[in-house]
Every structure is written in C-alpha cells, then in structure tokens.
Amino acid sequence: MKNNIKKYFFSIKYFIVYLIISTSFISCFDIPYNTNIKRELFGKFEGQEIYLYTLTNKNGLTAKITNYGGIVTSILIPDKNGKFEDIVLGFDNIEDYLKGHPHFGCIVGRYANRIAKAKFTVNNIEYKLNANDGENILHGGNKGFHTVIWDSEEIKNKNEKGLKLTYLSKNGEEGFPGDLYVTVIYTLTNNNELKINYEANIDKPCPVNLTHHSYFNLAGAGKTDILNHEIKINANKYTVVNEKFIPTGELKDVKETDMEFTSYRKIGERINNINSEYFYSGYDHNYILSKKDKKLSLAAQVYESVSGRKMEVYTTEPCIQFYTGNFLDGSIVGKNNYVYKKHFGFCIEAQHYPDSPNHSEFPSTILYPGKKYKQTTIYKFLIKK
C-alpha cells in the first residue's frame, strides 16, 4: 500500500515537472508574438502619462498608436521593392500633438463632421453645443475625443496584435447630453489590415458618429502631394453643402461630374474644378456609399503607381468623407522635418451623414439608452507590382 502511495506521488511530481517544461517550451515559441506589441512612455499631459504602442505583424508592417486622442502616429508599409516607409502624416513627439493639429490620425467624436449652428433637438429638448467652426461644431468640439487621454490595454493574440482604448465622455462634455461609454479597438492583422472596432452605450439619447482621421500619402508621408494617387469610391451620390460646409439636404448624383470616382481617376485630374469659396480647391465631401445594409463592405480603393502601394477601405458605415488636405498650407512641420503643404495627404473618414441630427430625411444617429453603437472600419494595405 505504501509503495503504491509513493508511486502515486512520484507520478504527480513528474507530471508537474512535465507541465512546467512544456509551458516554458511553448512560451519560447510565443515570444515572437508577445514582442510584437511594445509600450513606451510618449510624454505627459496634465499630470497623466501618455503611451505610444508599437504593433508589428508577421510581415513587418508596423502601426504606432498613442492613447492621447487614439492617434495613429505612424504606419510603416513596404513598396513594390520592399522598402518600408511611413504613409501617415503626423509628428515625432507628443509636444507637437499637444499644440494642436488638423486632427492627424485621431479618433473623432462625439460627432464626426459638422452639426449646424452647434445645436440639435432630441425628445423636444434643445441642446446647445460648444461651437468651434464659426457658428457650427466640427468633429466633437475643441475638447473632442482627439484631445483626451484614453485608458489603454494591450491585446495579444497569436494571429493579431491590438490596442483597446476606453473613454467615458461625461454628461455635458462640449454640450452633449448623457454619459457615453466608448471602446475603440485597433487591431493589426497578419492580412496587413489596420482594423478599427468601435462600441458605445449611453444613459441619455444623443447623436453619436465616430470616425478615424488619418491623413494618408501612399508615396510616403511628407514627400510629395497626393494628386497622382488614383482613387475609386463605391458611391453614386454625395451630400450637397452650403458655404459653411453644412448639408442643404440635397443628395446629388456624381455621374459625369467632377465628383465621380466610380472608376479609378487621379485625385488631381479634376481637383481644380472643385474651386470656389466653398471648397478651397479640393474635395471635402460626404459620399453616400452604394449599399443597402450595415454589413462590412468595400467603400474605396486608392493606388499610388510609383510605390505600387494600394489601400482598400472597408466599413459598416453608410458614408465616407473624402478630404484632400485642402487646408494644409505649409505652416506645419511634421515627422522628419517634412513640411505639410496643400494636398499632401488625403482622408477617408467612415461616418454617418453630416448634420443628421438636424435633417430628419437622413438616417438617424441618435443613440438611445439600452442600445449599442457599433461600427467597424478596415484599412487594408496591398502591393500592386
């Protein structure tokens, strides 16, 4: 009997040793994955620490993201010759971001684009917002989501690396009602996709319209303009706006106009025709995607022939804002001391219609208590040789 007990404990002992060795062995193979997300101190703001996270997939693609504003500070991808370059505009340090910038790479909220006269009405209650664009409010106001420090958490899975950001936008922030709980997850997949998942819930009815605002240049950020990039947008209509960039309510067909990108066209081919006090020589328009549901679908494709880089944009949202950096004027010095001039970057911002809270004919953006806001947008990077 005693011998049997000894044999039993002897077996248990060696089983435990086996588990320890096996776990260590497996961990050795997990090291490449675990080291593919790195956190470093990026700076401080109002006594809070700001971090910079570096995500790298198995193909060597790298995305750098800070929890200040959820800003994507850098995306490194190869060209057709295998040379890696940064393709998003931004800064080398947190101090330049803190000085203010034209929404480089950030999360935009509570409401992307504009709300006319900085007010809206829900359930017969009028809410006055903090105007920051003349009499209107743009991209959530002066203290939009692009200026706050988000709580951050690393996500480490075998096939993808990610960053989870959370933020509580309190009742009354920039005039918006309700406590809004927001989660944004950035994931860099091994399919060379930067995937952005948004979720939010609230305790009072309020319009919610979130987006991402990177300025892309597939030739390399800051090296040249984007006018020779070719773009295709899966949209047949756009929202007409007035001189303040506020929708008139009219939805106009793009067919056979300078607004049409249903097949590949160079961005600069007709850009000077979009030249008035309204648009300052460039595109800054909300395109209504040709889709009937909220499923993830291809919204736009952009190709730069010299580098061979191509980007595809997928989204669950009904619209995208196509913006060609019209207000970049050479006054901003960015990464590597590059001067950001007019048309040096383009934005494809997945969103709902601008000013929809004041247009009953547009799809509603009101988020109600008990309901969940959900959105997914993917920027996929490819090489076309």
The pLDDT tens digits for 274-300 are 865 555 679 999 999 999 899 999 999
Gyration radius (Cα) of the chain, Å: 23
Query: What's the confidence (pLDDT) of residue 317?
Result: 98
The pLDDT tens digits of the residues spanning 252-280 come to 999 999 999 999 999 999 999 986 555 56
Residues 6+ apart with CB under 8 A from 153: 163, 164, 165, 166
User: What is the structure's pLDDT at 243?
Assistant: 85
CATH assignment at residue 199: 2.70.98.10
Q: In the chain, how many domains are there?
A: 1
Q: Which pLDDT value is given to residue 62?
A: 97
> What's the N-to-C CA distance of the chain in angstroms?
74
Other beta carbons less than 10 A from residue 126's beta carbon:
8
Integer angstrom CA distances of residue 202 from 186, 207, 265: 22, 10, 42
Q: Is residue 66 part of a domain?
A: yes
For 164-199, how does the pLDDT look when each residue is reduced to its tens digit (9 = 90+)?
A: 999 999 999 999 999 999 999 999 999 999 999 999
32 pLDDT exceeds 50?
no
pLDDT value of residue 286? 97
> 103, 139, 146, 213: which one is catalytic?
213
CB 270 within 8 A of CB 206: no
Whether 268 maps to a domain, the answer reads yes
Contacts 24+ apart (CB under 8 A), 75-79: 75/194, 75/214, 75/381, 77/192, 77/309, 77/381, 78/383, 79/307, 79/308, 79/309, 79/383
Q: Which residue has the higher pLDDT, 86 or 24?
A: 86
Residue range 217-257, pLDDT digits in tens:
999 999 999 999 999 999 999 999 998 899 999 999 999 99
Contact 91, 196 (CB under 8 A): no
- Domain that includes residue 71, residue range: 41-383
Q: How many CA atoms lie within 13 A of 303 on its CB side?
A: 15
Residue 200 vs residue 32, higher pLDDT? 200
Distance CA 203, CA 384 (A): 47
Is 72 within the bounds of a domain? Answer: yes
**Residue 214 CA: distances (Å) to CA of 34, 75, 169, 237, 346:** 27, 10, 22, 23, 8
| 34 within a domain of the structure (yes/no) | no
Q: Residue 16 domain-assigned?
A: no
Judged against a pLDDT cut of 80, whether residue 329 lies above it is answered with yes
Domain assignment of residue 31, yes or no:
no
Whether 166 maps to a domain, the answer reads yes
**Domain-embedded: residue 11:** no
Q: What pLDDT is attached to residue 11?
A: 47
Report percent pLDDT > 70 for the chain.
89
Q: Which of 173, 317, 349, 352 is catalytic?
A: 349
Give yes or no: 359 in active site.
Answer: no
Is 146 catalytic? The answer is no
Q: Quick one: what percent of the chain has pLDDT higher than 90?
A: 85
